[in-house]
Amino acid sequence: MFIRLSAAIAALSLLGSAALAQGAKPTDPQIAHIAYTAGVIDINAAKQAISKASNKDVKAFAQDMVRDHEAVNKQALDLVKKLKVTPEDNDTSKTLSKQATEKLAELDKLKGAEYDKAYLANEVAYHKTVNSALETQLIPSASNAELKSLLQTGLKIFQGHQQHAEQVAAKLK
């Protein structure tokens, strides 16, 4: 319990600081990069869960994450191609990726029910952070209407993911 809680708090504060680290308003190429990176991170976490999770609902949730985040990222790639925008790497993307790599390594050490709980706790925390970044920073900063609309679709589906993760987590207890 202590480990799980402290891990969740660490994940939250790390991600929170990553989202906040960005002082200036991000540009569209940066927003596209952040959104795409955030999706890749969750896909990687889900792929780990598909091979490691022991509970079937947790595995099914992870499969949902791969399916949805790949669909959103495909839309994002199609859009940047259409708009002839090159996604631009930035500090927020870099911090997100670095923290995600650490989190994956940390989760990799866990097994069985302990892993399942930790994965879901991180999914709840991660989606919360990404959703808050979308709501307060990325969507308001996006200048292209199609990019804004894609981010709004993303927000809607990710809010569902957060609730879904909470529901699956509640059933584990």
Binding site for other proteins (CB under 8 A): 60, 64, 67-68, 71-72, 74-75, 153, 156-157, 160, 163-164, 167
Cα–Cα distance for residue pair 161/155, rounded to 1 Å: 10
- In angstroms, give the least distance from the CB of 71 to other proteins: 5
Provide the minimum distance between the beta carbon of 63 and other proteins in the complex, in angstroms, as a whole number.
8
109 DSSP assignment: T
In the complex with other proteins, which residue's Cβ is closer, 3 or 60?
60
Which residue's CB is nearer to other proteins, number 57 or number 91? 57
33 versus 161: smaller Cβ distance to other proteins: 161
In the complex with other proteins, the residue whose CB is nearer, 101 or 167, is: 167
CB of 117 to other proteins, least distance (A): 19
Q: Looking at beta carbons, which pairs linking 60-65 to residues 24 or more positions away fall under 8 Å?
A: 61/120, 61/123, 61/164, 61/165, 61/168, 62/119, 64/161, 64/164, 65/123, 65/161
Smallest distance from other proteins to CB 72, Å? 8
- Residue pair 45/121 in contact by the 8 Å Cβ criterion: no
